[in-house]
């Protein structure tokens, strides 16, 4: 029994389920419940407006000196309760005890209004059971479902059951003549009450409440899992790029090393130039601050152009375009990202120099080609990465900037592919350039800071 009790508490009070969640997920769930409470209040206020309008245009049908006007009184009290609960929710004071009191009070006002109709029309108590307003009992219970908490449906339905039973007892006790009949037609044509019909109402209330609470318990469990999953994706996005996190969490197959896909992609390698000297000047805290500024500047640009950050390599950044998610414009997006990065870095360096801080430049290497995007690791620790000749070439081109006297280089093939994909912009090309670690000379496009043109340079 001890093993199953948390499940029953989760179904009724949801405490066990909520307590098992991380604090940040509980906070997100509480935020959803706050919005749900506002929605409940909004629907109730709308109903009040509609019912008030209906009462206003309907002829009274009772004496001017009636002891009470049930509908205006009930609507006024109900509006006051809704506004008080709305204020408490808005100011963060709507705890469980206050919410429970509000749910009970709302149902009590509705049932009290039904009882007051007999006084309003100066008729025997049986009249209170004859009106069509009984359907609003179900409306009130149903509105509690908007919070996705079966507890409040049970509280509202339980209050309705107890209230209707009390109302029935009052009718039977206070009726001046025999109030009961077992003839259904007679009960419809007179003030006499068909006890079987009243028991049917109580049974309908109980079944409706229990069914709705059970459905909400199941829906609540799904909601909690969805919020936990959403939070997990958000947490993964702190360690992985958003696109990678979505692929990991949406994977239908078990994740394991060796899973990968081949795609045409653009690979961009970025690195701070002169970082070692800057690190010696700034000290540990200054180095971390410098890296933070640099990454906050560059990474949003990469992502804005559809790129994914594969990994941070100290002061280096490896990004891909079209590797995680297929992209027919991967090369054009990558070149546009480089153009914006170069411009942004110029402004960043100027601001740092004005502040008297080290202002290292950024080097970039860009290559395109077929890469494998997938999972590597030993089974206990996995990593999502891109592998291929384009990755190695992009890193070599970034390093070659120093020898070439440039800031950003790309292969000629990458630029031609980018122009075919809609990129607008001419870049000078150096032909047959020897790049360290590459067997054959390459034609390289200078993306930033034109070098001195050698004899073999073509425009």
- Residue by residue, DSSP assigns 112-160 as HHHHHHHHHTT--GGGGGTSGGGHHHHHHHHHGGGGT-HHHHHHHHHHH
Q: Which of 237, 272, 304 is the last residue of a domain?
A: 237
Classify residue 247: in a domain, yes or no: no
Domain-terminating residue out of 221, 237, 253: 237
Residue 94 has pLDDT above 80, yes or no: yes
Which two tokens mark 302? 């990469």
Residue 1 banded pLDDT, cuts 50, 70, 90: very low
Same domain for 300 and 204:
no
Nearest-5° angle of CA 316, CA 321, CA 323? 105
Distance of CA 300 to the CA centre of its chain: 21
Question: Confidence band (pLDDT; 50, 70, 90) for 101?
Answer: very high
User: For position 20, what pLDDT does the model report?
Assistant: 55
Confirm whether 131 is domain-assigned: yes
First to last CA, the chain: 82
Cα R_g (the chain), whole angstroms: 36
Residues 269 and 228 in one domain: no
Same domain, yes or no: 92 and 175? yes
The per-residue pLDDT for range 28-83, each reduced to its tens digit, is 777 777 888 889 999 999 999 998 998 888 888 777 878 888 889 999 999 999 99
Contacts of 81 (CB under 8 A, 6+ apart): 102, 105, 106, 109
Domain that holds residue 435: 263-458
Does one domain contain both 439 and 379? yes
Q: How many residues does the chain have?
A: 459
Structure confidence at residue 457 (pLDDT): 41
Same domain? For 413 and 367 the reply is yes
What is residue 268's predicted lDDT score, i.e. its pLDDT? 94
269 and 227 in one domain? no
- Looking at residue 6, its pLDDT comes to 44
Residue 153 · residue 180 · CB < 8 Å: no
- Tell me the C-alpha distance between 294 and 279, whole Å: 13
C-alpha closest to that of 129 among 162, 76, 157, 169? 169
Same domain, 16 and 119: yes
Question: Is residue 250 in a domain?
Answer: no
Do 196 and 321 lie in one domain? The reply is no
**Residue 199 and residue 343 in one domain:** no
Q: Is the pLDDT of residue 425 over 90?
A: no
pLDDT tens readout for residues 220-271: 778 777 776 766 666 655 555 666 655 655 554 554 444 567 889 999 999 9
The model's pLDDT over 316-337, given as tens digits with 9 standing for 90+, comes to: 899 999 888 888 999 999 999 9
* Tokens (6 digits) for 171: 């009718």
Task: Indicate whether 87 belongs to any domain.
Answer: yes
In this structure, the answer to whether residues 369 and 273 fall within a common structural domain is yes
Identify which has the larger pLDDT, 192 or 86: 86
252 is a domain residue: no
Q: CA-CA-CA-CA torsion for 246, 249, 255, 261, nearest 10 degrees? A: -20
Q: What is the pLDDT of residue 257?
A: 46
273/360 Cα distance (integer angstroms): 6
Quote the percentage of the chain above a pLDDT of 90.
30
Q: Cα separation of 125 and 171, whole Å?
A: 5
The number of distinct structural domains making up the chain is 2
CB atoms within 10 A of CB 383: 13
DSSP-derived 3-state class of residue 403: helix
What was the pLDDT predicted at 174?
Answer: 72
Say what the pLDDT of residue 173 is: 83
Check pLDDT > 50 for residue 458.
no
Query: CA 89, 90, 92, 98: dihedral to nearest 10 degrees?
Result: -20
pLDDT of residue 184: 75
Q: Who has greater pLDDT, 148 or 251?
A: 148
What confidence category does residue 103 fall into, taking pLDDT thresholds of 50, 70 and 90? very high
Q: Is residue 227 part of a domain?
A: yes
Element (DSSP H or E) covering residue 76: helix 70-90
Q: How far apart are CA 355 and CA 286, in angstroms?
A: 13
137 and 18 assigned to the same domain: yes
Query: 238, 309 in Cβ contact below 8 A?
Result: no
d(CA 293, CA 286): 11
pLDDT digits (tens, 9 = 90+) for 382-399: 566 788 899 999 999 999
In a domain, 246, yes or no: no
CATH classification at residue 328? 3.30.70.1230
Average pLDDT over all residues of the chain: 81
CB–CB of 224/343 below 8 Å?
A: no
Select from 237, 272, 305 the last residue of a domain.
Answer: 237
CA 416 to chain centre: 41
Question: Is 248 among the domain residues?
Answer: no
269 neighbors 397 (Cβ within 8 angstroms): yes
Looking at residue 18, its pLDDT comes to 54
Report the distance separating Cα 119 and Cα 392, nearest Å. 88
Residue 215 and residue 292 share a domain = no
């Amino acid at each position: 029994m001890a093993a199953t009790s948390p499940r029953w508490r989760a179904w009724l009070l949801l405490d066990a389920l909520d307590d098992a969640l991380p604090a940040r997920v509980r906070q997100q769930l509480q935020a959803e419940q706050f919005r749900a409470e506002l929605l409940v209040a909004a629907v109730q206020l709308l109903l009040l407006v509609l019912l008030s309008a209906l009462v206003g245009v309907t002829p009274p049908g009772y004496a001017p000196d009636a002891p009470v006007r049930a509908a205006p009184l009930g609507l006024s009290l109900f509006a006051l309760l809704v506004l008080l609960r709305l204020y408490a929710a808005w100011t963060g004071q709507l705890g469980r005890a206050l919410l429970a009191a509000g749910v009970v009070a709302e149902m009590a006002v509705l049932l009290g209004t039904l009882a007051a109709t007999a006084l309003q029309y100066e008729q025997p108590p049986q009249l209170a059971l004859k009106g069509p307003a009984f359907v609003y009992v179900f409306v009130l219970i149903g509105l509690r479902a908007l919070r996705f908490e079966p507890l409040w449906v049970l509280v509202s339905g339980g209050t309705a059951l107890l209230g209707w039973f009390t109302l029935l007892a009052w009718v039977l006790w206070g009726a001046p003549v025999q109030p009961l009949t077992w003839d259904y037609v007679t009960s419809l044509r007179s003030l006499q009450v068909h006890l079987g019909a009243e028991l049917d109402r109580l049974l309908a209330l109980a079944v409706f409440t229990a069914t709705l609470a059970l459905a909400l318990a199941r829906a609540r469990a799904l909601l909690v899992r969805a919020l936990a999953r959403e939070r997990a994706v958000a947490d993964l996005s702190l360690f992985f790029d958003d696109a990678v996190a979505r692929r990991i969490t949406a994977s239908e197959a078990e994740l394991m090393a060796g899973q990968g896909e081949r795609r045409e992609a653009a690979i961009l390698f970025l690195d701070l130039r002169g970082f070692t000297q800057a690190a010696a000047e700034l000290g540990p805290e200054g180095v971390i601050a410098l890296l933070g500024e640099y990454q906050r500047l560059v990474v949003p640009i990469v992502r804005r152009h559809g790129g994914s950050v594969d990994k941070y390599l100290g002061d280096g950044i490896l990004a891909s375009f079209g590797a995680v998610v297929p992209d027919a414009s991967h090369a054009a997006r990558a070149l546009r990202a480089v153009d914006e990065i170069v411009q942004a870095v110029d402004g960043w360096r100027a601001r740092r120099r004005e502040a008297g801080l080290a202002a290292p430049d950024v080097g970039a290497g860009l290559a395109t080609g077929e890469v494998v995007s997938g999972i590597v690791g030993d089974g206990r620790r996995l990593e999502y990465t891109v592998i291929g000749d384009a990755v190695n070439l992009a890193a070599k081109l970034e390093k070659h900037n120093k020898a070439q006297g440039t800031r950003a280089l790309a292969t000629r093939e990458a630029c031609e592919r980018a122009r075919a994909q809609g990129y607008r912009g001419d870049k000078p090309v150096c032909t047959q350039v020897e790049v360290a670690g590459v067997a054959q000379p390459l034609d390289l496009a200078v993306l930033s800071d034109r070098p001195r043109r050698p004899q073999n340079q073509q425009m």
